[in-house]
Chain A
């Protein structure tokens, strides 16, 4: 088991290196010279020799790969420099807002999983008419943009019914509406996947055998089909979490939830590159860890692969 985990971890090293390279190169490829831009933002018209001096001071005159190595060495210590806009360190800014975004994404994921299992199994198990209604409903829910749903929710629940408030303090009650907004779209999308997978399994011979044995439809779903699809479901859950991490930006700005959304939108409008880079790396890392865990679950959920592990 330990050996399995270690080999899996070793395989991820090139991917992690590649990710860090993408995050570094994307800044280098961005249009505009950062030194000139920063000086101009401070209202200074720079002379060429000043620019050269500043570049030397920041190590920007060095070749690309040496700069990458330096950057990587600092990134490994979670040092992404300081925000151009506020002057505070990037990791402090992001660390301050990250828990709220992670919380929102995780709660939405739980909601989305619940919705998807309900919609997916209903679409397979129910009679034809209900099933078609459920499928139609899922397609409509997938098509509704989360930001518009959020605005509708605010209109109905905050302005008309007064059940909730718009300016919150980040407590659990303020989490309900944004989480609901995110989980409906994600849940409907995953529900389609659950439907696909269950339907595909229901075409297999072992289901036919179970029916012939007289196992109840629910028993087949839980005892036969469930274990077969749990592995691929965890992969989908991990992917959905990735979507939610990004989608959180959309609803956070509407519900003024104190997550990373506001920070990153500000950073984009102020062209605050260190913040954007740190955001990309850390979100990538969170998503990477969840995908890795899902990968392990995928192996553990499969009896054949698991037996292979025990034999090693």
Chain B
């Protein structure tokens, strides 16, 4: 988990450094040194248009990570109220809301995201919306489960009996209980959303060139990968590290929260 946090801080610092460094700008083409391998002038080499890979890689941090965070924010904006209302209201409201979520969940997630992008036209915004549409129901379900178990605790019932308003119970007693497990879910889900978004960009239906984005950079590298493998290594490793960071933080948090000990021989 420490390594995961370290990686995330590393990305934040690199993103800031990318803006202030004296690297060539990410869009600057140098057609004389196309597909050049790593050298002193271009630490990670150049791509097929002679653009500096390191500079593009750094410029892609806010785009790629930003897209993942925006998507996650959109997912939470739907899933959190949905799960809360469904879990607390119970009865018919609960049934209808969960049924609606089930209907969206009945489609394979990536297939639904692809279809939404197909109808909206390929762009980074469309892929963000597509992934959010496909991902929110499972999160709403998880949040509802958390709310249900949080609502069962004796002190929650006690505060209802003591005459606390519904809003007070939700914000003072229910939400604080579900925040730690929610942090685990958010972290792990951000990792999977990041993977999905970069896959879509790689397929050419997410971020569009010349926007610097890791998946899109890998897509541009495809025709040249026999002659210029350096174009593949760096962006790929960047995606792996970013996804790994979120996964490590999520798993680490989960281990911290897990108090049970298995019986062993």
Q: Give chain A's interface residues, CB within 8 Å of chain B.
A: 14-15, 18-19, 22-23, 26-27, 29-31, 124, 135, 139-140, 142-148, 151-152, 154-155, 159, 199-200, 202-203, 207-208, 211, 217, 242-243, 245-247, 249-250, 253, 264-265, 267-269, 271, 273, 276-277, 279-280, 283-284, 287-288, 291
Contact = CB atoms under 8 A, between A and B. Distances in A.
A265 B203 contact: yes
6 contacts: A145-B195, A145-B243, A249-B114, A265-B204, A276-B118, A277-B115
Given A147-B202, A250-B199, A139 B244 contact: yes
Contacts, number: 161
Contact of B262 (A140, A142, A152, A203): A203
B222 interface: yes
Interface string B183-221: 000000001000100110011110000000001001000
Contact of A151 (B109, B225, B264): B225
B205 A246 contact: no
A268 B110 contact: no
B199 A146 contact: yes
Main secondary structure of the interface of A (DSSP, over half): helix
A82 B45 CA distance: 47
B232 interface: yes
Contacts of A211: 263-265
B106 A148 contact: no
A269 B122 contact: yes
Given A139-B248, A249-B203, A271 B103 contact: no
B102 interface: yes
A271 to B, nearest CB: 7
B28 to A, nearest CB: 26
A208 B263 contact: yes
Interface in B125-154: none
